Amino acid sequence: MKPFTYERATTPAEAAAAVVRHPGAKFIAGGTNLLDLMKLEIEAPQHLVDVNTLKLDRIERTPDGGVRIGALVDNTALASDERIRKDYGVLSRAIVAGASGQLRNKATTAGNLLQRTRCPYFYDTNQPCNKRKPGSGCAAIGGYSRQLAVIGVSNACIATYPGDMAIALRVLDAKVETVNAGGQTRTIPMADFHRLPGDTPHIETALAQGELITAVTLPRPIQGTHIYHKVRDRNSYAFALVSIAAVIQRDGRGRVAVGGVAHKPWRVETAEPAMPQGASAVASRLMAGAKPTHDNAFKVPLVERTLAAVMAEAKTA
């Protein structure tokens, strides 16, 4: 690990200002992903701003009947919260489908959104990777790509966004609240928060340098059956090959987002009116334009089959 200086933040805006002030600075909250990457020197911040002191760890009702989740609420606390379990079941389910108990106790809401890809070539510092070293190339294209993205890919990058929580947040139309060094706040819809790789796969989110996530808000609860179905190589403590977050009504209408297939949580709102017609009708619209590799072509039919399983489960729920 490269040496770094460390400070504890006092206010959200001051934390943002500290990151802007120090070149190569980063926020640290749970640290479960950042420290892993720092040990491998994939991340090498020269200064860390610890935001754990900012008291952003509460879950509260919003005036419009939704919920505001503080950026520092840990994954266990969020999945266990009575309001989340009752009204936003897809979110609780997505969180407990990810990582291990130890990691969920430490990982935060904001940090989970910002976790980096687990593409093996991003992790292997001997290989070219446009995400780790812009302009160096992509070893994943033409390499071992079974786990990697099949849609929204570019010639520069086929990495996937690895998380589960964000897939549920996308289907729930969550919003991300931030503050910058000047104290200005803004709200970013989940749809716009993560980016497709394009020519700049190292730029993964809509956040500016030093912009700090303060909360994630959920709109009023959506009625229907909440399901998160994750398909993976083993049944616990593994990243998704394909995952589906869905909220489905009694009449078959609903919404769906897919994980494990793209550089961001994958949702195509124009595919959703086809929900009552069945999985095939939805999946063909959701995955239109997919560009899988030889290794991961199985993910395209797997999306349809997983969606069919989710729809069948919703009918019996």
Partner 1 sequence: MIERSGIQATRRGVLVGGSASVALTTLPLGSAEAAPAVEPPKMKVSLQVNGKQATLELDTRTTLLDALREHMHLTGSKKGCDHGQCGACTVMVNGKRINSCLSLAVMHEGDKVTTIEGLGMPGNLHPMQAAFVKHDGFQCGYCTPGQICSAVAVLDEIEAGVPSHASASLTARPQASNAEMRERMSGNICRCGAYSNILEAMHEVAGTDVAGARA
Q: Which amino acid belongs to residue 171?
A: V
Polymer length in residues for the chain: 317
| Least distance between partner 1 and beta carbon 164 (Å) | 10
Beta bridge partners of 25: 47
**Stretch touching partner 1 by CB under 8 A, among 94-102, 137-145, 176-184, 247-255:** 94-102
**Torsion angle in degrees (nearest 10) through CA of 104, 106, 112, 118:** -80
| Least distance between partner 1 and beta carbon 132 (Å) | 17
Binding-site size for partner 1 (CB under 8 A) equals 35
Interaction of residue 100 with partner 1, rule CB under 8 A: yes
Residues 6+ apart with CB under 8 A from 316: none
Question: Each residue of 119-139: b (16+ CB within 10 Å) or e?
Answer: bbbbbeeebebbbbeeeeebb
Interaction of residue 2 with partner 1, rule CB under 8 A: yes
Dihedral sign, Cα of residue 112, residue 118, residue 119, residue 121 = positive
| Least distance between partner 1 and beta carbon 304 (Å) | 23
Nearest CB to partner 1, comparing residues 197 and 221: 221
Interaction of residue 31 with partner 1, rule CB under 8 A: yes
Residue list 200-239, contact with partner 1 (CB under 8 A): 236-237
Dihedral sign, Cα of residue 186, residue 23, residue 28, residue 265 = positive
Nearest CB to partner 1, comparing residues 272 and 313: 313
Nearest 5°: the CA angle 126, 203, 256 is 110
Interaction of residue 80 with partner 1, rule CB under 8 A: yes
Sheet of 5-8: strands edge to edge? Answer: 5-8, 47-50, 25-28
Interaction of residue 79 with partner 1, rule CB under 8 A: yes
Interaction of residue 101 with partner 1, rule CB under 8 A: yes
Binding partner 1 by CB under 8 A: which of 57, 68, 83, 103? 103
Interaction of residue 185 with partner 1, rule CB under 8 A: no
| Least distance between partner 1 and beta carbon 86 (Å) | 7
Nearest CB to partner 1, comparing residues 234 and 294: 234
Nearest CB to partner 1, comparing residues 96 and 274: 96
DSSP structure string for 32-91: TTHHHHHHTTSS--SEEEE-GGG----EEE-TTS-EEEETT-BHHHHHH-HHHHHH-HHH
| Least distance between partner 1 and beta carbon 259 (Å) | 15
| Least distance between partner 1 and beta carbon 98 (Å) | 9
- Whether the CB-CB separation of 244 and 227 falls below 8 Å is answered with yes
Interaction of residue 92 with partner 1, rule CB under 8 A: yes
Interaction of residue 106 with partner 1, rule CB under 8 A: yes
- Whether the CB-CB separation of 130 and 201 falls below 8 Å is answered with yes
**Stretch touching partner 1 by CB under 8 A, among 9-17, 44-52, 206-214, 278-286:** 44-52
Dihedral sign, Cα of residue 301, residue 140, residue 205, residue 72 = positive
Nearest CB to partner 1, comparing residues 76 and 185: 76
Q: Report the DSSP pairing between strands 254-259 and 242-248.
A: antiparallel
Q: What is the contact surface with partner 1 in residues (CB under 8 A)? A: 1-6, 8, 28, 31-32, 35-36, 39, 48, 50, 52, 76, 79-80, 85-86, 89, 92-93, 96-97, 99-103, 105-106, 236-237
